[in-house]
Amino acid sequence: MTVAGIITAIVIGAIVGMLGRLVLPGRQPIGVLLTVGVGILAALLGTALAQEVGVSVTDGVDWIELAFQIGLAAVGVGLVSAVRGGRSRSGRY
């Protein structure tokens, strides 16, 4: 993977992760790096899932693939938020 590919994955992951957080109600107690990580994973899994169900590649924005990615990001952010359970950085509850 090239440097441009890595940077693109980070940018797409950040966008997908933030959109995933946006569709969830309430506040999620996770940081930006976790959001980007969940977004990158959701983007990769969403692309694979879209290809598996037969969504073809288009010249423009593939809205169905993007919907898969955002949906998976929302699930991922929700799972990470539930696991973290609102822990604070200071260690107090």
Q: Is the full-model pTM beyond 0.85?
A: no
Q: Is residue 8 part of a domain?
A: no
Q: Is residue 19 part of a domain?
A: no
Q: Are 36 and 15 in contact (CB under 8 A)?
A: no
Q: Is residue 43 part of a domain?
A: yes
Number of domains in the chain: 1
Domain of residue 50 covers: 32-82
The predicted pLDDT at position 48 comes to 86
Q: Is residue 77 part of a domain?
A: yes
Q: Is residue 46 part of a domain?
A: yes
Q: Is residue 61 part of a domain?
A: yes
Residue type, 47: T
The predicted pLDDT at position 71 comes to 93
Q: Which two tokens stand for residue 10?
A: 């980070």
Q: Is residue 38 part of a domain?
A: yes
**DSSP summary character for residue 60:** S
Q: Is residue 67 part of a domain?
A: yes
